[in-house]
Amino acid sequence: MINSTKNIQSPVPGRVYTPRKIPYKVACTSFNLVMLSRSLGLYPNLYSPNNGCANLTIAPSDPVFINYTAAVITRRANADSVKVVTPGTYDTISSPESNLGFFTFPLAIIARVDYQNNKCVTGSTTRNDLAHNATGITVTPQTTATKCVFPSGHVTTISITSVRYSVPDFKSFGNISASVFQSSIPNPLVSAMQDSVTDGTLSNLTIDTLDTKSVMEIRFSGTKVDLLMCSSRRAGIGGNLYLSCIYSIVTTIISEPQPMLPEIVGLRGDNKPFPVPPISSVMIAFDHLPVIGANGSSSAFAVRPLLTESASVAQYLAALGQNFFIDWDDGALYTIFDTADMQKGYEIPAGLFGAVVGIMTFCLIFRIGAEIR
């Protein structure tokens, strides 16, 4: 963890170390959406303007050759949600079982923010291939995040919380989705995806096991994006159709320019050039564990509460500002901690403690005796 004393050289025992937070102002509160493509000039049909001051690109990360020219984006009348349908073909570099569709690559999401010629990218990490007959949440929910600090002083934070689940047959999509989100109230994105499940959008595949169709239901508000993506595939040549789905919440924060902390300037040197951050990075990645019952047994994941984690992580990293500063050129991490020393309290003498206990016991016996009379 960021405040772990393992990251501190010669920590003082008993001292509390807290990474210093810095007040920040948000520089951009509305994004334009770019789906799948990172080149607006090539695929303008995948661009959804929103009067934004920055562009947020959402793209899947999987071994699929997407037919971008055949992709269709539909922006709904309520203006804050879009539907993206993309046909594609899986790569054949996987195992024979994967090539035949009996195992499929788990979905992952990449998010990229472009603001004033500054680019920041992060994504959810991928896991082992999933079996075609898997049901429900098959991969531990995960939150990944990164923070990009630019020479201009702007700080961009991106956080993604993702829940992956599998549907072995189309008719089970509604029930499995309801069990994943633990709610009898339909999720708007799940309801929209149900239409693509039942109207043939996702089932319109050839008998080829490498053929796939993906649908992304996206709802955006300001700098937050909710996304449900499901991909269909066949288990064997002409086999049954199944779905792999991922529900992700992407939260982004762009803060106004901040000066580098004087302590970090002193450690790095006044004349040292500002390190250029990599375009893509994952600064934090952690898994969400299932809820543990009173008897020690694990139960379902608390999906609804953990979907708020994306905003919490993004806000925390944004509050660190120029602190928790990574010098990518030197491979060094600079963190300024505020400290507090614990003061030892006064000990109660054993005699006084015994007297207090004795008086309390006498009063209790006297009270019980009075009530009996």
Q: 89-123: per-residue pLDDT in tens?
A: 877 655 666 667 777 777 888 888 989 988 898 87
Q: Confirm whether 357 is domain-assigned.
A: no
Q: Give the pLDDT confidence score for residue 26 in this predicted structure.
A: 94
Indicate the pTM of the whole model. 0.82
Of the candidates 93, 92, 131, 108, the residue with the CA atom closest to the CA atom of residue 58: 108
Q: Give the pLDDT confidence score for residue 106 in this predicted structure.
A: 72
Q: Give the pLDDT confidence score for residue 254 in this predicted structure.
A: 94
Q: Confirm whether 44 is domain-assigned.
A: yes
Mean pLDDT, the chain, integer: 80
Q: How many residues in the chain?
A: 373
Query: Does residue 89 contact residue 231 with C-beta atoms inside 8 Å?
Result: no
Q: Which residues contact 251 (CB under 8 A, 6 or more apart)?
A: 158, 159, 160, 223, 224, 225, 310, 311, 313, 314
Q: Confirm whether 373 is domain-assigned.
A: no
Low-confidence ranges of the chain (pLDDT < 70): 1-5, 36-47, 62, 78-79, 92-99, 124-129, 184, 291-302, 344-348, 352-353, 357, 362, 364-373
Q: Give the pLDDT confidence score for residue 39 in this predicted structure.
A: 47
Query: Does residue 50 contact residue 28 with C-beta atoms inside 8 Å?
Result: no
Q: Confirm whether 118 is domain-assigned.
A: yes
pLDDT in tens, 158-179: 999 988 888 999 999 999 988 8
- Tell me the residue type at 116: Q
Q: Which residues contact 173 (CB under 8 A, 6 or more apart)?
A: 167, 193, 194, 197, 230, 243
Domain range enclosing 211: 5-338
Number of folded domains that form the chain: 1
Q: Give the pLDDT confidence score for residue 368 in this predicted structure.
A: 64
Q: Confirm whether 205 is domain-assigned.
A: yes
Q: Confirm whether 368 is domain-assigned.
A: no
Q: Confirm whether 361 is domain-assigned.
A: no
Q: Give the pLDDT confidence score for residue 126 in this predicted structure.
A: 66
Q: Confirm whether 360 is domain-assigned.
A: no
